[in-house]
Amino acid sequence: MNTARENTIAARALIGGLAAAGVRHAVITPGSRSTPLVFALADQDVITPYLVIDERSAGFFALGLARKTGRPVPIACTSGTAVANLFPAIAEANLSRVPVIALTADRPPRLREVGAAQTIDQVHLFGRHVRWSIDLPVPGPGPVAAGFEAAGTRAVQAAMAGLPGPVQVNVPFDEPLVEPPADHPGAYLPPAGDLSLPQFPVPASPLDRIAGLLRSARRPLIIAGPETGGLPADPLLRLAETLGAPILADPLSGLRAGVPDGAPVLDAFDAWLRSVPPPPPDFVLRFGAAPTSKVLNQLLAGWSDAVHVLVDLPGGYREPNGTRPLVLMGSPAAAAEALAAVPAQAEGGWRGRLLEADRAARAALDAASREPCEPFEGRVFTELRDLLPPGATLVAGNSMPVRDLDNFFGLRQEPLDITANRGANGIDGVMSSAAGAAAAGAPTAVVVGDVSFLHDLNALWAAREHRLPLLVVVVNNGGGGIFHYLPQAAHTDAFERWFATPPGIEPGRAAALFDLPFCRAESWPAFREAVESWVQAPAPFVVEVRTDRRANVAMHQRAWAAAARAAAEVLGR
Ligand SMILES: Cc1ncc(C[n+]2csc(CCOP(=O)(O)OP(=O)(O)O)c2C)c(N)n1
Ligand SMILES: [Mg+2]
């Protein structure tokens, strides 16, 4: 036995444990210390490995792939700052509950804290951002394989149990890291086990109390917030029917696409609730994370006479509005099914009027987004709603894209998987997350601002390398358009330099750097043509839509005002 062979055996056992627990995709980043892990991933074909060079991008790529497939995605990296570069994606994965497994190669303990090359304190580096982390022993002679295999399986369990999330497996390796080719064992077959997903029934005691309160609710409201993998649409729609409750559906809830015509789903509320507040609900039932809509969060905080109920998995708590909710712990489907048995008492017309107001507001928003003036950023989503094929993925960047998604996408009957990095709301890694989602195979469109585009250019490399079915729509408004809606916009001198920060880059030249096809859509027919051509043959493609930040503020305000007028008319205000 020699060190290199021991490394191989241990690394293969670890990868075997991951495969046995249901892992099917992985990300590899380059480096030397991680060599045994890289060979263990490259020498088998149960888990498909993707190479991504930059670890920050790779972390988000793993996040996007794990979110899309619902399975944990391990990412192997070398020691040192490589590990720290995973942090943004780990932080997002923690908050948005995505199972990413950092396999971080390390020096053996005797080389830590003694000035050895490429060695940082990386043990438990991610602190409370991971569900579990372990520093494995240095592989040596003797029966280490069982322990490494168990660590792989356990990493998956920790990433999927209760609240899904990231984990870190730190793996120290001694040199020599790998045997010469003549002695290196060839391909091997790890066990391809399947993933088991825990389901949580709702406990009887809070359920009885909540059901009692719900029985007398006259104006019940369901809020479907953002949820990784989407909330279970059918149980929620059945619940809405039995309660006579409308559902305010966040664009990231899974209820904005693939829902049947006539479903009691409101999708325009962010635009009209700000100026036409509805009669206060007396029972608010929340699923998923806090909504993207700031207006809705503010209203929630003000509905202090209502009973607030928060449904979440055991250990989850996502309520930043101070409503002091009753918490019903369990799987959303189990909770919805249990509550659907409660006999309803909703006021006649309560749901119908809100739905009618919302439909009128939606029509007004659609019309406003199609006004023939300056290119309007919101229209990107009205167009994509109609253009993306069934089963595609739509990723919205943070900043204005996710807000425009909320306001201007509306609803569609054909299925579409809509995601965004809304755990930590970073503008880093937006395109890499989309690239990772695209690696799962479905055509994937990402809408990203120009500053966010610059932040994550390396994603274009991964898109080209893996020939991903990825459409990048860059909304180029020459800086951070979102800041125009904030008080700092009034500080005109400081604003452009320190907040708007126009990057002054040409997305077309960035695309050229990566040999990717590019088009600047100068009109909406041209935009449609570009997207339609991509739908015919999905492959990496960058489309730029140039807009004017200032003009877009005014256009948003006009659209919101039109939505509010339409809703007010229905509600007789
Ligand atoms: C990693 C990270 N850095 C900084 C921010 C703060 N931030 C939020 S929006 C934004 C500007 C984004 O500009 P752009 O991508 O062009 O989108 P737009 O506002 O124009 O829609 C910045 C810097 C953040 N959310 N995440
Ligand atoms: Mg911008």
Helix H or strand E encompassing 16: helix 3-20
Which residue out of 446, 451, 555 has the highest number of ligand 1 atoms within 8 Å of its CB and is therefore the one to mutate? 451
Distance 502 CA to ligand 2 centre (A): 8
Q: Counting Cβ atoms within 10 Å, is residue 384 exposed (0-12), middle (13-18) or buried (19+)?
A: buried
Q: Give the span between the Cα atoms of 37 and 177, in whole angstroms.
A: 10
Sheet containing 132-135: order of strands? 48-51, 25-28, 73-77, 100-106, 167-172, 132-135
Q: Give the span between the Cα atoms of 85 and 77, in whole angstroms.
A: 10
- Ligand 1 atom nearest the C-alpha of 400 is 21
Q: Give the span between the Cα atoms of 176 and 108, in whole angstroms.
A: 12
Residue closest by Cα to atom 17 of ligand 1: 449
Q: Give the span between the Cα atoms of 150 and 36, in whole angstroms.
A: 17
Q: How many CB atoms lie within 10 A of CB 123?
A: 16
pLDDT, residue 202, reads 92
Distance 521 CA to ligand 2 centre (A): 16
Q: Give the span between the Cα atoms of 549 and 547, in whole angstroms.
A: 6
Alpha carbon of residue 404 to chain centroid: 16
- Ligand 1 atom nearest the C-alpha of 479 is 16
The ligand with the least distance to the CA atom of 449 is 1
Quote the DSSP letter at residue 163. S
The ligand with the least distance to the CA atom of 453 is 1
pLDDT, residue 1, reads 60
Q: Give the span between the Cα atoms of 564 and 312, in whole angstroms.
A: 32
Q: Give the span between the Cα atoms of 412 and 564, in whole angstroms.
A: 22
pLDDT, residue 197, reads 82
- Ligand 1 atom nearest the C-alpha of 549 is 20
CB 50 within 8 A of CB 26: yes
Distance 31 CA to ligand 1 centre (A): 31
The ligand with the least distance to the CA atom of 476 is 2
190 upstream amide cis, omega within 30 of 0: no
Distance 296 CA to ligand 2 centre (A): 24
Which residue out of 453, 454, 482 has the highest number of ligand 1 atoms within 8 Å of its CB and is therefore the one to mutate? 482
Token representation of residue 565:
């007028």
Distance 474 CA to ligand 2 centre (A): 9
Which residue out of 294, 398, 545 has the highest number of ligand 1 atoms within 8 Å of its CB and is therefore the one to mutate? 398
| DSSP states of 225-259 | ---TT---HHHHHHHHHHHT--EEE-TTTT-SBSP
pLDDT, residue 142, reads 84
Q: Give the span between the Cα atoms of 90 and 73, in whole angstroms.
A: 12
Taking the model in full, what pTM does it have? 0.98
Residue closest by Cα to atom 7 of ligand 1: 427
- Ligand 1 atom nearest the C-alpha of 377 is 21
Residue closest by Cα to atom 25 of ligand 1: 426
pLDDT, residue 416, reads 98
Distance 488 CA to ligand 1 centre (A): 14
- Ligand 1 atom nearest the C-alpha of 476 is 16
Distance 497 CA to ligand 1 centre (A): 14
- Residue type for 88, please? P
pLDDT, residue 240, reads 97
Distance 333 CA to ligand 2 centre (A): 38
Distance 22 CA to ligand 2 centre (A): 39
Residue closest by Cα to atom 26 of ligand 1: 426
Distance 450 CA to ligand 1 centre (A): 9
Q: Counting Cβ atoms within 10 Å, is residue 519 exposed (0-12), middle (13-18) or buried (19+)?
A: middle
Residue closest by Cα to atom 4 of ligand 1: 427
375: left (phi over 0), alpha (psi -120 to 50) or beta: beta
CB 435 within 8 A of CB 64: yes
Distance 252 CA to ligand 1 centre (A): 19
Q: Which residues line ligand 1 (CB under 6 A)?
A: 398-400, 425-428, 449-452, 477, 480-482
CB 159 within 8 A of CB 19: no
Residue closest by Cα to atom 8 of ligand 1: 399
**287: nearest Cα among 305, 306, 310:** 310
Q: Counting Cβ atoms within 10 Å, is residue 479 exposed (0-12), middle (13-18) or buried (19+)?
A: buried
CB 9 within 8 A of CB 139: yes
Residues of the chain with pLDDT under 70: 1
pLDDT, residue 569, reads 97
**435: nearest Cα among 15, 74, 27:** 27
Q: Give the span between the Cα atoms of 260 and 250, in whole angstroms.
A: 16
Q: Which contacts of 506-512 are long-range, i.e. CB under 8 A and separated by 24 or more positions?
A: 507/450, 507/453, 507/474, 507/476, 507/542, 507/544, 508/542, 508/544, 510/453, 510/454, 510/457, 510/460, 510/542, 511/460, 511/542
**365: nearest Cα among 269, 489, 429:** 269
**Terminal-residue alpha carbon distance, the chain:** 82
Quote the DSSP letter at residue 266. E
Quote the DSSP letter at residue 399. T
